[in-house]
A and B are shown apart, each in its own frame.
Chain A
Amino acid sequence: MGTFSDYDKSFERSDRSARDRQRHRQKVRQAIKDNIADIISEEAIIGKSRDKIIKVPIKGVKEYRFVYGQNNPAAGQGDGDTEPGDVVGRTGDQGQGPADQAGDQPGEDYYETDVTLEELIDIVFEDLELPFWERKKFRQVESKRLFKRKGYRRKGIRPRLDKRKSAKSRIRRRHATIGPRRVNNNSNGSLNGNIQNGQEESEERRFPFHYDDLKYRHLVEDIKLESNAVVICIMDTSGSMDTVKKYLARSFYFLLYQFVNQRYENTELVFIAHHTEAREVDEDEFFYKGESGGTFVSSGYKKALEIIEARYHPALWNIYAFHTSDGDNFTSDNDAALESAKELCEICNLFGYGEIKPTGSWDWGAPLYKLFQSIDAENFCMVKIEKKEDLWSGFRRLISVDKIEDEELGEE
């Protein structure tokens, strides 16, 4: 005869898989970290909301075994009128039967996981492995304190409980109720009386906290205008900027935007596309519209200066400007470009120039790169990007230049 057990009511159930789940998540995170360069350069995530959920392909958490490949035929069951040539599925989604004992068969792995942009950014900056002194510097730059203390309240959340104040107010209340703390010594003589007294005494000694005693620190939001930042993306959209170059530029802007966004409460984005003339455009147009023609770099810079003057006063805004180009410029424009670049350096927290040369032609003699080497402002940085892998090193150099004090950093 079968026996039954039902552990419902009295049994505190344990979450037995909690630890193994946590370790699986760590593996997922590690896998994302390992592929971070691919992810940031492939996703349309620049300037997106932090809650945006991104599908991230994972290569690290599969459980490998010897298995047969997808090329092999398999059998299936039809609905009665299957004909040769019917499409019954796609490769990659192998069928799975009804749920059954998990774990004893090499089942399908899911290759994608959802992470929020927020998490992704955390991972990005974790991956950067910023050494301590760099982190410290960021804190100094951080110009906004979210909250400041303002008085006390009787209600609040536990972490804000002010223990000293609460204890004081309890003492005050006891003083008011039973007088100053002193052992009462009038003895009664009789044994009974003594015991009762003793009980009373211990009752007296126990004087618990009352809800009214508890004091919580009160915080108010503290807004400072300096916590605004604007990222000005300037890009050469002339004919020589092809898709690959734009794609690299886009990845770079993503990093920059997220970096700035980490540190300021309010971050705005400005896109300036230029060829011989400059226009302010939106993100889509910025990355997808190609234009033809030659290049006047100065036009882009001038447009940036114009916009800064009109909308982003340097006293109220932290300005991060970054220009990507393939290095071509009309020689006649070089002087004007240098001039306005210097001007930008003066009013920006950081002005960067990225030269994108995806092809093998490693021409260091590119006019702009050479030209800008004469700028010796501390907050100016040049990076060269040849391939995806350079994004990281380039970006690391860029942020190390931000409001720099340490001169060594400029070089690397």
Chain B
Amino acid sequence: MNYSVEDLQKWDEKILAKVEEFGLDPFPQHFEICDHFQMLGYMSYSGMPSRYPHWSFGKAYEKQKTLYDYGVSGLPYEMVINSNPSLAYLMRDNSLLLQILTIAHVYAHNDFFKNNFTFRHSNNQYTIEKFKTHADRVRDYVEAPGIGQTKVDEILDAAHALSLQCRRNLEIRKLNREEQEDLAWERSQPRYDPYQAIHKREEWKPPDTSRVPLEPDEDLLLFIRDHNFNLSEWEKDLLTIIHQETQYFLPQIETKIMNEGWASFWHKRILDSLELPQELHIEFMVRHNQVLRPTPGQINPYHLGYRIYEDIESRWDDPTDEEKTESGRKNGEGREKIFQVRKIDRDSSFLRQYLTEELVRDMDLFRHEKQGNDRVVSEIADEDNWEKIKQTLIKQVGTTSIPVIKIFDSDHLGERTLYLKHDYDGRELDLEYAEKTIAYAQQLWGHPVMLETLLDDKEHHLVHDGQQFKTVKAG
């Protein structure tokens, strides 16, 4: 390190002054300086200083280390944890400029965590403590006589498989049983008929309120926890732990492009305004371009997000005459607009509203499909197809990249079968993965599990009855 912590503090002060000047509103920030070895460790445990033990973290570590050792991928310059105060790691071996860039980048992430609506439910003043108590509880179970590593692993493996199968939009309140029943009664009421005087009255049937759940339930782990009475307390607790940790990560999955774009947008603004000495400035340009350059054939979230924010700002700063008359926009509203966007959007709504035809064309986005063993470009950004490309892209960001699977019944055909339904949106499930995941669900549920989905546009039931898996064509 050819600079001291004091140097970093000085730069931090300058950066923070700019952060306030630009109107960013972060949590208090703590930086921990670590080496690459520790960074690899933090990465495999999602940055948490303490996390429960599981072999998959060991696997993540080995994979990262292999990629790093062979120079396939570098290490991130930083990691930020959504907590209050926020915790970020800086790599000791990085140059001074990289640290400055990273500090600015971190403050913007921090601001995003504090202000974006998806993070509203993350209780981030307890993040670190929450993960720590989870880790302690899991370790207790591992060491408890009669439980032990193997049994804990069995539950964790299964819970990991189902963990992302949970509600995505926490803004929509989940109805409790009573409210669900009320809703069912309400729905069963005959619709208002203006001609009821002359029509024969419809026969009214009371709704079937015996089914569990009444409203389709997306929280697989919680549902199994609450409705499989054969689970012991520690097994239920493990399911709770995995569910809660997923809830923490979900907003980050939801806002990857927005979050990285926001941080990149602001590190650029902040560093431009810092009046860096020339040699630092040149290095900054190089590093900035390295982070933001598009990855051919793929989507670089840093690049995509950055471009969209820039575009929004310029369009709201100088609206066209048409926009001025139609929506009453004034000049110079760009800054205000992007702050609004960072508060009320998530990746899918962000792309839907602000990924314009010009951007799609400009970035040369395309759509590719499987043909034999190759992925072949099927549509490129032209007048007819840009909308299609955009829709495809929206489907692969955030939680829209995770299939929606809901529980419809927990006593299907009176056999305690857990009846799951895949919300088919034109995309087929990967069958190998589905089979194994259903087996995990069966393991946790203890009774048969059935998933309804579409394969080749035909309804199929994937069933695991505890003995074997089979695929049945419905109807």
**Known contacts A68-B401, A68-B430, A76-B368: does B33 contact A8 (CB below 8 Å)?**
yes
Interface of A is mostly: loop
Task: Establish whether residues A19 and B53, one from each chain, have CB atoms under 8 Å apart when the complex forms.
Answer: yes
Bound complex: CA of A65 vs CA of B431, how far in Å? 11
Cβ contact within 8 Å between A4 and B58: no
A residues 229-243 near B (Cβ < 8 Å) are: none
Beyond A20-B55, A69-B431, A101-B79, is A80–B364 a contact (Cβ under 8 Å)?
A: yes
Is there an interface contact between A78 and B32, defined as CB atoms closer than 8 Å?
Answer: no
Contact B60 A5 (CB under 8 A): no
Shortest beta-carbon distance, A59 to chain B, in Å? 10
Shortest Cβ distance from B381 into chain A, in angstroms? 8
- Compute the total of residue contacts between A and B using a CB distance below 8 Å: 274
Cβ proximity bits A339-350 to B, threshold 8 Å, 1 near / 0 not: 000000000000
The 8 A CB mask of A11-30 against B (1 = contact, 0 = none) is: 00101110111111111000
> Which residues of the partner chain B approach A72 to less than 8 Å between Cβ atoms?
370, 426-428
Q: Quick check: B297 and A16 within 8 Å, CB to CB?
A: no
Interface centre among A20, A27, A91, A99 (most CB of B within 10 A): A20
Instruction: Mark interface residues in B57-72 (1 if CB within 8 Å of A CB, else 0).
Output: 1111111100100000
Contact A78/B46 with A95-B298, A99-B64 known, Cβ cut-off 8 Å: no
Contact between B92 and A8 (Cβ–Cβ < 8 Å)?
A: yes
Name A2's contact: one of B31, B301, B302, B368 (CB within 8 Å). B31
Q: Looking at A66, A70, A79, A82, which has the most chain B CB atoms within 10 Å of its CB?
A: A66
- Taking a contact as CB atoms under 8 Å apart, the answer to whether A99 and B76 are in contact is yes
**A7: B residues at CB distance < 8 A:** 32-34
Shortest CB–CB separation between residue A368 and chain B, in angstroms? 41
8 Å CB interface, A325-340 against B: none
CB of A61 within 8 A of CB of B379, answer: no
A75-B389 in contact (CB<8A): yes
Cross-chain contact B374 with A89 (CB below 8 angstroms): yes
Q: Chain A's nearest CB lies how many Å from the CB of B282?
A: 22
Within 8 A of A (CB), among B115-162: 149, 153, 160-162
The verdict on A77 contacting B364 (CB below 8 Å), with A24-B56, A64-B436 known, is: yes
Residue in contact with B43 in the complex, picked from A65, A90, A102, CB distance below 8 Å: A102
B160 touching A77, Cβ below 8 Å: no
Query: What's the least CB distance linking B306 to chain A, in Å?
Result: 13
Nearest neighbor of A79 in chain B, beta-carbon distance: B296
A16 cross-chain contacts in B, Cβ below 8 A: 41, 45
Instruction: Let me know if B295 and A24 touch, CB within 8 A.
Output: no
Contact segment of A104-112, A257-265, A273-281, A313-321: A104-112
Instruction: Determine if B55 and A24 form an interchain contact, defined as CB atoms under 8 angstroms apart.
Output: yes
What size tier do the contact residues of chain A reach? 35 or more
Report whether A5 and B291 are in contact in the complex, using a CB–CB cutoff of 8 Å: no
Contact of B365 with A by CB under 8 A: yes
Query: Which of B58, B64, B436 has the most chain A CB atoms inside 10 A of its CB?
Result: B58
Write the nearest CB–CB distance from B310 to chain A, whole angstroms.
16
Tell whether, in the assembled complex, residue A74 and residue B396 are in contact, meaning their CB atoms are under 8 Å apart: yes
Say how far B239's CB is from chain A's closest CB, in angstroms: 16
Stretch in B9-17, B206-214, B272-280 touching the partner: B9-17
A94 to chain B, nearest CB (A): 9
Q: Which of A17, A25, A91, A97 contacts B370 (CB 8 A)?
A: A91
Contact, CB under 8 Å: B32 / A5: yes
- Residues from chain B with Cβ under 8 Å of A81 in the complex: 364
B297 partner, pick from A22, A89, A104, beta carbons under 8 A? A89
Q: Which of A21, A75, A78 has the most CB of B within 10 A?
A: A75
Interchain CA distance A100-B64 in the complex, whole Å: 10
Residues of B within 8 A of A (CB): 5, 8-9, 12-13, 16, 28-35, 37-38, 41, 43-47, 53-64, 67, 73-76, 79, 92, 103, 107, 149, 153, 160-165, 249, 252-253, 256, 260, 291, 294-304, 363-370, 373-380, 389-390, 392-393, 396, 401-403, 405, 422, 426-431, 433-434, 436-437, 440
20 A-B Cβ contacts within 8 A?
A2-B28, A2-B29, A6-B5, A15-B41, A20-B54, A24-B59, A63-B59, A65-B163, A66-B164, A77-B294, A77-B300, A77-B365, A83-B380, A87-B376, A88-B375, A95-B297, A97-B299, A100-B256, A101-B47, A106-B164
Query: Interface on A for B, CB 8 Å cutoff?
Result: 1-8, 13, 15-17, 19-27, 61-92, 95-106, 110
Pairs A-B, 8 closest by C-beta atoms: A20-B58, A95-B298, A21-B58, A24-B58, A64-B436, A75-B393, A78-B364, A69-B430
